[in-house]
Amino acid sequence: MEVTSTAKWVRTTARKARLVANVVEGQRVSDALTVLSFMPRHVARDVAKVIKSAAANAEHNYSLDADALRVVRVTADAAGMIKRFRPKSRGSVGSVFKRMSHLTAVVTDEVVEAPAQKKTRAAQHAAAPESIAEPAKSPAKKAPARRSTAAKETAPVADTAPEKEEKGDDNGSEG
């Protein structure tokens, strides 16, 4: 059974929270809390609070065993932002956006597979079958014809080797 917990209006950006949340997905709750306690990021405390709350909800409301709980996912969605201004040089002003996020943690007592890691291009290339891994070689492109098709039809075809040209000046005059 999946049990959720949310923390709204957390004063951190969603991007920073996602970096921490992706680390603990798929782990046991106790292991996830241990990892988060040693993480140097400030948002790790907020993510840990949400996971603890979800585990407490599962234990109290649904009588699930706390030792068997695993973190299914932790999402960080962007919330509103507080807009402030800071004076700049020559009478101008700069914007300061204090972003916030909503954190949601989902825990379950069922066996959860580890989240699928995104493969890099090199890993995808190595894992691909031979027919897909190497692109089909296309034949070499021929040089485009210089004459029009009408000129080709009327031009006589020479059966012999081309004749040698006489050597002359670069400007074409003899002498």
Distance, CA of 23 to CA of 37 (rounded, Å) = 13
> Can you tell me the distance from the alpha carbon of 157 to that of 140, in angstroms, rounded to the nearest whole number?
26
Structure confidence by residue, pLDDT tens digits, 53-63: 999 999 999 99
With contact defined as beta carbons under 8 Å apart, do 23 and 117 qualify?
no
**Would you say residue 100 has pLDDT above 80?**
yes
Q: Check residue 162 and report its DSSP letter.
A: P
Region 66-78 average pLDDT: 95
Query: For residue 146, is pLDDT > 70?
Result: no
Position 29 confidence tier, pLDDT thresholds 50, 70, 90: very high
Using the predicted structure, report yes or no on whether residue 134 has a pLDDT greater than 60. Answer: no
CB 83 within 8 A of CB 64: no
**Is 2-110 a domain of CATH 3.90.470.10?**
yes
* pLDDT for 143 beyond 70: no
